[in-house]
Amino acid sequence: MLKRRLSLVALLAAFVLVVAACGDDDAADDTSATTAAPATTAAPATTAAPATTAAPATTAAPASTVAPAGPAALACMVSDQAGIDDKSFNETAWRGMLQAEAELGTQVEFLESQDATDYRVNIDAFIEQGCDLIVTVGFLLSDDTGAAAADNPDSRLAIIDFPVYPDAPWLDGDGNMVTNVRGLTYQTDEAAFLAGYLAAGVSQTGVIGTFGGINIPPVSVFMEGYRNGAAYYDSVKGTETTVLGWDGTDGLFTDNFTSLDDGRAFGQNLLDEGADVILPVAGPVGLGTGQAILDFNSAGGSAMMVGVDTDMFFSAPEFEDILLTSILKNMDASVFNTINNIVTLGSLGNQYLGTIANGGVGIAPFHNFESVVGGALAGEIAALEVGIADGSVSVGFPGADEG
């Protein structure tokens, strides 16, 4: 159960604070996916994803006297409740671990969390085992990650989807900020903005929809970017697109990341209200939405889905005929680069924020929908991507103006 909620504004402000304090990262190594199995714990079979755009490695290490771990390093990952083979969030992060195993010779292991009470238990188990790096996957693990870091200052951790800053949960017993955790965060509203613009451009009903798993910033930031991208399309084209499921403050949430039945029900409700492009931001819950859309299309309808985190055309090929695109959150790249820092530098590296500019986020190819999108709209998406990267386009619509 979620112990604490942060507002989207507060979390994004923390992103800005962390990035301003730490500076930019440098260019990265190749981050193509690997299907190699881990050395000590069997990984689920997955379909290999295409190479992702490289996210920047961080070569500037914080003050440390710890020697590099070398190729014998042990990197460990604690999943959230969706599990390691969720075809989305955890699986993408695990892919970065497998890449480190294949390219760096790192030993890798994972523990799956069945419920929230497992988070600290699993982290402590890996601390006891002596892992050189422990990666915790997700916002919901922040309290336990922060507490474990404070209790074990000689252990090194990284957390996906939560920045580390001088406030709870990143304070030790003396009120000092912990220095042994690297926050891996992602400006996914940038990529979602492109997907929203695209969805508005291909929609035949003028209605698109979205829903989330839990109303936490790493989820709602997708929904906000999607909504703003559609609004930006309308401002350029003089059209009116209705976005169901998120009003900028609140919206539709299943309150879990596991129930395919909920995904099917929420997807069907959006279809019933006329949405013909749906963005589920709920991990494997979105697979239920995919099935609802397949059934809808089989009955004569015409709707599409936008995937999240990884290119679902490859991770969930059963839905390739309805996948317009996917919003890429290249967690594998940032996980790999953190492990590389441990192996080669003996340090976690700077706090990380993935953006379109550094390749940490993006959108997948249109695959089977290239002809539906067409050259003109595809060109507009490409131009928007450049504009977001160079700062000439703001994704914070209203007011997302070029200039």
- The answer to whether 80 and 113 have CB atoms below 8 angstroms apart is yes
The CA-based dihedral angle spanning residues 394, 400, 402, 403, taken in that order and rounded to the nearest 10 degrees: -80
Question: How far apart are alpha carbons 227 and 151 in whole angstroms?
Answer: 41
Residue carrying the six token digits 């099935």: 291
Pick the CATH number of 8-26+70-187+330-354 from 3.90.1150.200, 3.20.20.140, 3.60.150.10, 3.40.50.2300: 3.40.50.2300
Asked whether the predicted pLDDT for residue 234 surpasses 60, the reply is yes
Express each pLDDT in 138-147 by its tens digit: 999 999 999 9
Q: For residue 244, what is the enclosing H or E element?
A: strand 242-244
Residues 6+ apart with CB under 8 A from 171: 146, 150, 177, 178
Asked whether the predicted pLDDT for residue 8 surpasses 50, the reply is no
CATH of the domain spanning 189-329+361-390: 3.40.50.2300
Strands of the sheet with 277-281, listed across from one edge: 242-244, 207-212, 277-281, 304-309, 323-329, 361-363
Residue 38 is predicted with a pLDDT of 35
Question: How far apart are alpha carbons 185 and 15 in whole angstroms?
Answer: 8
φ/ψ of residue 213, rounded to 5: -80, -60
- The answer to whether 58 and 334 have CB atoms below 8 angstroms apart is no
Residue 312, classed as helix, strand or coil, is: helix
Express each pLDDT in 91-126 by its tens digit: 999 999 999 999 999 999 999 999 999 999 999 999
Question: How far apart are alpha carbons 343 and 339 in whole angstroms?
Answer: 6
Least confident span in 70-74, 255-259, 285-289, 370-374: 70-74
pLDDT band at 85 (very low <50, low <70, confident <90, very high): confident
- Both tokens of 309, joined, read 């985190």
Least confident span in 63-77, 203-217, 282-296, 375-389: 63-77
Question: How far apart are alpha carbons 138 and 184 in whole angstroms?
Answer: 10
Same fold, 8-26+70-187+330-354 and 189-329+361-390: yes
**ω before 398 within 30° of 0 (cis)?**
yes
Asked whether the predicted pLDDT for residue 19 surpasses 50, the reply is no
Question: How far apart are alpha carbons 163 and 62 in whole angstroms?
Answer: 16
Asked whether the predicted pLDDT for residue 398 surpasses 90, the reply is no
Return the domain boundaries, the chain. Answer: 8-26+70-187+330-354, 189-329+361-390
Q: For residue 108, what is the enclosing H or E element?
A: strand 107-111
Question: How far apart are alpha carbons 108 and 3 in whole angstroms?
Answer: 29
φ/ψ of residue 186, rounded to 5: -145, 130
pLDDT band at 69 (very low <50, low <70, confident <90, very high): low
- Both tokens of 58, joined, read 């961080």
- The answer to whether 279 and 222 have CB atoms below 8 angstroms apart is yes
- Mean pLDDT computed over every residue of the chain: 85
Cα distance from N-terminal residue to C-terminal residue, the chain: 44
Nearest to 228 by CA among 241, 214, 215, 237: 241
Give pTM, 2 decimals. 0.82
